[in-house]
């Protein structure tokens, strides 16, 4: 806690989703609990032990309630992790050792339980067995909850009934936890860990929720209910903002709203540059958006439908009919524009409790992810392809394969697609026989063989989030090295250029759906390289369109050549900023250059 609890205190992190919000803090999971230690008089020790038993009972009840909620909202597999938590609470050895500790040492039960649980965790951590090691985190979670209950403290969880609108603070947030949030009540999200391209942040952006990540130490300072101000432009969070600060941010907020109006005014105008080159801005969606909002957004379709969310928030994997209905709702809403449905990209940070892919991995982003999972779980993959094909009978649909890293993977995916087409033909189901197939270029090995891949697909879509992570060997969700996750690296720009050159040479369109497409500083560069279709989140659509409507082809080509000649990241950064400043009036650029 700050010395004066009312004192304003600033924290600097990474700006992850734009916007300003103020409200009370609610923690998703708080930092470590401070465990007091004091002596209990001998005549009160019996009472202390029954306090422990009551605490155990209350904690069991809470966990059953959470289990039921998770089962309903997410699924049985995710809910089953709470069974392991119940087992910890019923562990006789743990309970009896704690009681023994109270009797022998005379200390309070929170301290005794903490001591015993810590000894267990230390012992388990030494054992070379993945299953047993996993139990350590179960014991840690449950211990925290039980100790908080004994202390009468809030322990933080996803449940925030009755709190109303709040700012969610958390150490980290997984995509499945994000899927569990009551988004209407979440004014902003703030995490101690994470990065701009972690999937929960991407989800926050598509829901237009301001977000700041990488704020180490905040959980130890901000208490439940404390007033916070979140500045998603600068990446700043202010605890107990003064009246003066609130007023200043009030201006910023209304200024931002005015700029949004400026951008929005052009949302429905044609996608044409100042010198007449056509372009399209499409949407990245997660499958949770309001279809009416999307339909009226001015977008030329959906360039990336991340289907994982359907699999993260449903009870078990959704069946063909459920998937078809979900895909169709977006296909109908976006008609006559295309909806690009990306096949399942589970794994990486989208593998809650390893229950979906069945593996716990040391390096999940390099592991059993995306197309790798689908090519081994052909039942799941074919079921999804069937649902996508069925939806293609009702409007324009394109298929996009994620994480392609070799020619064989693309060929195998296509073979399975042909098998599914054959089955559907047999059943007399109408679908688009010439459905376009796209390969995501997000792994460097795929970037190098665009020529080979081009014979087996109809278009490419560059996933800059992963391409940058794999090319630069920088974990996209590790805030410790986020300064290295830098698009200004010549290696990255040259790789992008190579992909466009190869796509052009082999007559295949190259689109961009990673977050770089939505970045006002880099969208003109991508355009200069040859991108004519950029796919961005709903919140960025109007701004990207506004920007591209002001560029001239000759200038952006020159910009691209200039950037490709640069040797230093600093020179690249200055050049993109310089061009951006020429393009956009000063009052509008404030937010992009913060």
Q: Which residues bind ligand PEP (CB under 6 A)?
A: 202, 304, 306, 345, 442, 463-466, 513-514
Q: What does each C-alpha distance from 548 to 277, 279, 402 come to in angstroms? A: 10, 8, 27
* Minimum separation from the CB atom of position 591 to ligand PEP (A): 23
Of residues 138 and 286, the one with the C-beta less far from Mg ion: 286
Question: What is the residue whose two structure tokens read 């994997």?
Answer: 317
Look up residue 443 and give its two tokens: 């792994």
Of residues 170 and 195, the one with the C-beta less far from Mg ion: 195
Of residues 221 and 519, the one with the C-beta less far from ligand PEP: 519
Has 394 been annotated as catalytic? Answer: no
* Minimum separation from the CB atom of position 462 to Mg ion (A): 10
Look up residue 472 and give its two tokens: 């630069």
Asked whether position 463 contacts Mg ion by CB under 5 A, the answer is yes
In 524-592, which ranges are E strands? 533-536
Of residues 22 and 178, the one with the C-beta less far from ligand PEP: 178
Has 12 been annotated as catalytic? Answer: no
* Minimum separation from the CB atom of position 514 to Mg ion (A): 7
H or E segment to which residue 397 belongs? strand 397-401
Of residues 187 and 531, the one with the C-beta less far from ligand PEP: 531
* Minimum separation from the CB atom of position 374 to ligand PEP (A): 14
Sorted by sequence, the CB contacts under 8 Å of residue 37 that are 6+ apart come out as: 107, 108, 111
Angle at 516 between CA 515 and CA 519, to 5 degrees: 100
Question: What is the residue whose two structure tokens read 């296509």?
Answer: 414
Asked whether position 409 contacts Mg ion by CB under 5 A, the answer is no
Show contacts with Mg ion in window 425-454 (CB under 5 A): 442
Q: At what angle do helices 243-264 and 538-548 cross, to 10 degrees?
A: 60
- Binding residue (CB under 5 A) for Mg ion from 289, 466, 519, 533: 466
* Minimum separation from the CB atom of position 364 to ligand PEP (A): 12
Exactly one of 166, 199, 211, 457 is catalytic; which is it?
199
Exactly one of 211, 300, 457, 513 is catalytic; which is it?
513
What number of chain residues touch Mg ion (CB under 5 A)? 3
Count of positions (residues) in the chain: 594
Cis omega (within 30 of 0) for bond into 289: no
Of residues 371 and 513, the one with the C-beta less far from ligand PEP: 513
Asked whether position 515 contacts Mg ion by CB under 5 A, the answer is no
Closest CA to 254 of 17, 22, 19: 19
Question: How many CB atoms lie under 10 A from the CB of residue 476?
Answer: 23
* Minimum separation from the CB atom of position 465 to Mg ion (A): 5
Q: How is the beta sheet containing 166-170 ordered, strand by strand? A: 9-12, 236-239, 227-231, 20-29, 166-170, 186-191, 211-213, 14-17
* Minimum separation from the CB atom of position 583 to Mg ion (A): 29
Of residues 263 and 365, the one with the C-beta less far from Mg ion: 365
CB 339 within 8 A of CB 581: no
Closest CA to 13 of 465, 482, 522: 482
464 binds, among Mg ion, ligand PEP, none (CB under 5 to 8 A by kind): ligand PEP
Which span sits near Mg ion by CB under 5 A: 197-205, 430-438, 466-474, 553-561? Answer: 466-474
DSSP, residue by residue, 40-64: --GGGHHHHHHHHHHHHHHHHHHHH
CB 214 within 8 A of CB 237: no
Catalytic sites, residue numbers: 199, 513
Give residues in contact with Mg ion (CB under 5 A). Answer: 442, 463, 466
């Amino acid at each position: 806690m700050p010395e004066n609890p009312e004192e304003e205190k600033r924290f600097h992190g990474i700006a992850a989703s734009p916007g300003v919000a103020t409200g009370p803090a609610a923690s998703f999971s708080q930092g470590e609990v401070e465990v007091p230690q004091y002596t209990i008089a001998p005549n009160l020790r019996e009472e202390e032990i029954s306090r422990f038993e009551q605490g155990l009972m209350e904690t069991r009840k809470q966990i059953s309630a959470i289990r039921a909620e998770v089962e309903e909202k997410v699924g049985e597999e995710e809910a089953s992790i709470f069974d392991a938590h119940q087992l910890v609470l019923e562990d006789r050895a743990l309970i009896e050792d704690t009681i023994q500790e109270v009797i022998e040492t005379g200390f309070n039960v929170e301290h005794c339980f903490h001591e015993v649980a810590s000894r267990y965790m230390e012992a388990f951590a030494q054992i070379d067995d993945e299953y047993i090691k996993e139990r350590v985190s179960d014991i840690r979670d449950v211990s925290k909850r039980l100790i908080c209950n004994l202390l009468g403290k809030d322990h933080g969880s996803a449940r925030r009934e009755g709190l109303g609108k709040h700012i969610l603070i958390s150490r980290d947030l997984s995509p499945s936890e994000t899927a569990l949030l009551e988004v209407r009540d979440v004014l902003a999200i703030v995490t101690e860990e994470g990065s701009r391209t972690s999937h929960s942040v991407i989800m926050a952006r598509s829901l237009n929720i301001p977000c700041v990540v990488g704020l180490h130490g905040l959980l130890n300072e901000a208490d439940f209910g404390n007033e916070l101000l979140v500045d998603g432009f600068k990446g700043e969070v202010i605890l107990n903002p003064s009246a003066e600060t609130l007023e200043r941010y009030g201006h910023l907020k209304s200024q931002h709203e005015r700029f949004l109006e400026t951008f929005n005014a052009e949302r429905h105008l044609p996608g044409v540059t100042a010198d007449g080159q056509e372009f399209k801005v499409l949407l990245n969606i997660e499958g949770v958006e309001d279809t009416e909002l999307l339909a009226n957004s001015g977008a030329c379709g959906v360039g990336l439908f991340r289907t994982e969310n359907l699999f993260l928030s449903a009870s078990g994997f959704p069946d063909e009919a459920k998937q078809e209905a979900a895909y169709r709702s977006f296909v109908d809403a976006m008609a006559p524009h295309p909806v690009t449905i990306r096949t399942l990209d589970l794994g990486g940070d989208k593998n809650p409790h390893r229950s979906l892919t069945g593996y716990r991995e040391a390096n999940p982003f390099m592991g059993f992810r995306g197309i790798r999972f689908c090519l081994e779980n052909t039942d799941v993959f074919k079921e999804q392809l069937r649902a996508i094909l069925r939806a293609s009978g009702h409007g324009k649909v394109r298929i996009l394969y994620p994480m392609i890293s070799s020619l064989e993977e693309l060929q195998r995916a296509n073979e399975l697609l042909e098998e599914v087409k054959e089955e559907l033909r047999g059943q007399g189901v109408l679908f688009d026989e010439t459905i376009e197939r796209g390969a995501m270029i997000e792994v460097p090995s795929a970037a190098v063989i665009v020529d080979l891949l081009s014979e087996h697909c109809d278009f490419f879509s560059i996933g800059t989030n992963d391409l940058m992570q794999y090319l630069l060997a920088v974990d996209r969700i590790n805030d410790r090295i986020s300064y290295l996750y830098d698009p200004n690296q010549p290696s990255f720009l040259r790789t992008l250029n190579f992909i466009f050159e190869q796509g052009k040479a082999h007559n295949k369109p190259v689109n961009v759906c990673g977050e770089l497409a939505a970045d006002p500083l880099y969208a003109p560069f991508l355009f200069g390289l040859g991108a004519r279709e950029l796919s961005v989140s709903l919140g960025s659509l109007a701004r990207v369109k506004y920007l591209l409507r002001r560029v001239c082809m000759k200038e952006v080509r020159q910009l691209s050549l200039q950037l490709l000649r640069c040797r230093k990241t600093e020179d690249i950064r200055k050049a993109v900023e310089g061009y951006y400043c020429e393009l956009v009036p000063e009052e509008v650029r404030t937010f992009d250059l913060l």
